[in-house]
Chains A and B, each alone.
Chain A
Amino acid sequence: MRALVRLWELILERFHLKEFLEHPVPRYSNLNPLYWLGDVAAMSFFILAITGFALALLYTPGLSLTKTPPDPLLGHLGNEVYDATQSYSSVYKITYLTPLGFILRQIHLWSAYMMIFATLTHFFAKFILGSYKRRGGGALWLLGVFLGFLTINQAVLGYILPLHLDGILAIQIGLNLFRYFDYFGIPVGQLVLSVLGSLFVTDQVIKMIYVLHILVVPAIILVLLGLKINGILYGGVSPPPIKDEELRRRAMEEKEPFYPHRFALTVGQLLLQLSVILLLAAMTPLPLLEPWVPGQQVPAGVRPPWPVMWYYTYVKMIDPFISVGLPIFLVLFALVVPLLDRRGGVSIEERWIWVAIAIVYIAIIGYGTVLGFLVDIPKEITPLTRISVPPDYAVPYIGTPQAVGP
């Protein structure tokens, strides 16, 4: 026992871990929940990495068709064997035929949703706190916006992988959405085509999505997360939203060591997070959605999952040339916020206008999400909502009509 303690102390000393464990953390940031949300997102990322490792071993990407046994859970009665892609079959095996596979997939899905939710709330919390106003805060803000973008990317890529009906629709939209840039002379669609070789899902496309999801994007996220944590470790957390100079100075001077104060908070938060994930998995397990193979009729009323529901609502409401630009505008606005909002302090009474803008920003996303779940919006064609394509871009009917019948 004594030897172990000495070994532990040696490790702490030789790797300079004491400096890390004892670095001072302001007390207000341990007490204010607005400073906890980033930890939730980061911890979700590590849960996703661990469960994702096991899932990556069991999953096989591919579009070749295999016969899948009938599944009473999906409403297939009798001995009706149906076609499914290799990807779908392997996810089916993971979910229903592998020991602990179901709970593994549930933890992965629910932590993914938790990570997105935590990322969004973390973004709005920092928007309201004006974290980008302190020295070095602007760079961290830019990193954060980029990380949020990558998080949404990861969610979409992961949603595609099982190649269920919704996943196929997602990949089809992903492959074709950026072709709108081609109308403006920016050949993004051509680039996608030249890299993947197809604008319809094929083996190459799904292999690329798999590699991006399990290797490329997580690696970028990990590196940027390390940069961000380093920036916070040495640059400190954002100042408290207090107007009074004296109170603010006192709040910033009152510090606690990371270990055990903040450490205990983070561990407690992680345990709480794991229990919430398990509870969600138990109460509302996410089923494997129905299979689809090319050529099958697509049922009407397919909806995207909640993180992109707001965008789906706006896509149905407004012109494609505007709706493609909407998320780009939101991301760009988030990027320029540190340059626009520079004067004054960080308290809410000093920058209420920016708090109002943050609320409008949340409202745009929230309104679309709620509306998307409540109603299905038919698109009205009006001169305002429809911008016609230059006629030269339309492919004329190229066949020579040739009658075959009577």
Chain B
Amino acid sequence: MVDENRRNVLKIFIGSSVALSLGALTTPLVGSVINTKALALKGEYSSVEVVLCEDVDNCPEEYSVPISELRQGPKFVLLKKSNTAIPAVFGLVRATDGKEYPVAYNTVCTHFGCPVNPTGGKYLMGFACPCHGSFFTICNNPEGCDGRPFLEAYVSGGPAPRPLRPIKVAVKGDRIYAVKAYI
């Protein structure tokens, strides 16, 4: 009698955890087949917006890099806001229109979270993940590359499911400031 009860409790526990996990695994599969729009709620689930400074004019120096330094090559800055640390790489992208555009990206790989290495020499061209071999290429065509917007670090190889999280930058004087980041 008692044994039967225990078995039932175990069954309920295990059954519900199996159901939950199966549901969690199959939801995106089914969702991607039926209607992806239905799944998306307001805001980006997997990214959290961090506002580093409201305005460029009162943005602290620690969130900035001089343009002259970026001309030597991409630069790493660890952006810190309260408890959050955001590893950022600032760089200049040479677009196909011949101009230089300042950019910054959160260098946490969107696959499993490893720190990615910037590629290219003086100009930033993309990122490579040393852990599982994802490649990100920065779109340098102002018209967009195959539907990808200008300056997006899209996945050009490897297992990463989505582009690198960008950081919004603004130019003030001879420095480039990180204004808003996604983590």
A residues in contact (CB < 8 Å) with B? 135, 138-139, 142, 168-169, 172-177, 179, 181-187, 189-190, 193, 196-202, 204, 294-295, 297-302, 315-316, 319-321, 325, 328-329, 332, 335-336, 339, 378-379, 381, 387-406
- Given known pairs A185-B41, A200-B108, A316-B159, the reply for A399 and B169 (CB within 8 Å) is yes
Closest CB in chain B relative to A334 CB, distance in Å: 11
Please tell me if the beta carbons of A398 and B92 are within 8 angstroms of each other in the complex.
Answer: no
Please tell me if the beta carbons of A177 and B112 are within 8 angstroms of each other in the complex.
Answer: yes
| Residues of B133-176 contacting chain A, CB below 8 A | 133, 142, 149-153, 157-163, 165-171, 176
A179→B128 CA distance, assembly (Å): 21
Q: How many residues of B sit at the interface, in one of the four size bands?
A: 35 or more
- Given known pairs A200-B85, A393-B44, A395-B44, the reply for A169 and B114 (CB within 8 Å) is yes
Is B53 in the interface zone, CB < 8 Å from A? Answer: no
- Given known pairs A295-B87, A397-B150, the reply for A339 and B161 (CB within 8 Å) is no
Closest CB in chain A relative to B139 CB, distance in Å: 8
A135→B39 CA distance, assembly (Å): 45
- Given known pairs A302-B131, A397-B151, the reply for A402 and B3 (CB within 8 Å) is no
Residue in B closest to A199 when the chains form the complex, CB atoms = B183
Residue in A closest to B86 when the chains form the complex, CB atoms = A200
On chain A, the residues within 8 Å of B166 by CB distance are 395-399
On chain B, the residues within 8 Å of A405 by CB distance are 92, 99-100
A139→B157 CA distance, assembly (Å): 46
A406→B10 CA distance, assembly (Å): 70
Residue in A closest to B93 when the chains form the complex, CB atoms = A401
Query: Taking each of A183, A316, A325, A394, which has the highest tally of chain B beta carbons within 10 Å of its own beta carbon?
Result: A394
Closest CB in chain A relative to B98 CB, distance in Å: 7
Per-residue A-contact encoding for B57-98, CB less than 8 Å = 1, 0 else: 000000000010000000011100011111100001001001
Closest CB in chain A relative to B103 CB, distance in Å: 7
- Given known pairs A302-B131, A399-B166, the reply for A406 and B98 (CB within 8 Å) is yes
Mind listing 27 A-B residue pairs with CB under 8 Å? A179-B46, A184-B24, A184-B27, A185-B39, A190-B48, A200-B84, A200-B85, A200-B86, A295-B87, A315-B132, A320-B160, A329-B21, A339-B14, A393-B40, A393-B46, A397-B166, A398-B180, A399-B103, A399-B104, A399-B170, A402-B102, A403-B95, A404-B67, A404-B100, A404-B101, A404-B102, A404-B176
A399→B18 CA distance, assembly (Å): 43
A371→B47 CA distance, assembly (Å): 34
Closest CB in chain A relative to B19 CB, distance in Å: 11
- Given known pairs A316-B133, A336-B14, the reply for A403 and B101 (CB within 8 Å) is yes
On chain A, the residues within 8 Å of B165 by CB distance are 395
Please tell me if the beta carbons of B28 and A321 are within 8 angstroms of each other in the complex.
Answer: yes
Residue in A closest to B151 when the chains form the complex, CB atoms = A397
A295→B32 CA distance, assembly (Å): 36
Please tell me if the beta carbons of A394 and B162 are within 8 angstroms of each other in the complex.
Answer: yes
Please tell me if the beta carbons of B82 and A138 are within 8 angstroms of each other in the complex.
Answer: no
Residue in B closest to A169 when the chains form the complex, CB atoms = B114
On chain A, the residues within 8 Å of B78 by CB distance are 200, 294-295
Closest CB in chain A relative to B127 CB, distance in Å: 11
A294→B75 CA distance, assembly (Å): 12
On chain B, the residues within 8 Å of A173 by CB distance are 112-114, 131
Residue in A closest to B142 when the chains form the complex, CB atoms = A401
- Given known pairs A138-B10, A402-B171, A405-B99, the reply for A389 and B132 (CB within 8 Å) is no
